Structure 1
């Protein structure tokens, strides 16, 4: 099973593809069902740990940005550069990961 959609990487460019739809016609019953259709690659270990800690925070009822950032720092989760979180760096990271 694919854990990401390899065809998405070609669509990440800001310029339209000149090959849109090329070799993408699906024959009923013969196409592969991609579970992770919206991923162009597998998540990194860092991204998986961030998701795990965000789920933990939400399960504990943390919903405000400042409280979330404080909890991530208290639990020892650092950003990808190894630095403590700030509200601004967390928002920047969410924008980057959300593309």
Structure 2
């Protein structure tokens, strides 16, 4: 068996503007031949933008944020903007989550 990687190289890239419609049947796992590892559902290691966003969201949830408006306002207050550097709004953040699956 190959060494464990920190991403699944057989998954489609999730940076597309439209989520991939094709599945990974026969590519993601082979029953009885693969380990169930934590990183099996990501196709690559998160980049700096994603890592910052994830860490910030975790701290916001820890601080008690529960609603979309709270999250969007707090992200903008902390200057954790979208990938193009624009402040988030509820629509843009919802679209980002829909596409990226976070």
Following superposition, the deviation at residue 9 of structure 1 comes to: 3.2
Match of 1:14 among 16, 21, 26: 21
Bigger RCO of structures 1 and 2 (CA < 8 A, at least 6 apart): 2
Q: 3-state DSSP class of the match of 1:70?
A: helix
Residues 4 and 36, structure 1, Cα contact 8 Å, conserved in 2: yes
TM-score by length of 2: 0.73
Unaligned runs of 5+ in 1: none
Aligned pairs for 1:33-44 (under 5 A) are: 34-44=37-47
Residues 4 and 34, structure 1, Cα contact 8 Å, conserved in 2: no
RMSD: 2.8
TM-score by length of 1: 0.75
Q: Which residue of 1 aligns with 2:16?
A: none
Q: Distance in 2 between matches of 1:97 and 1:25?
A: 25
Larger Rg: 1
Equivalenced residue count is 93
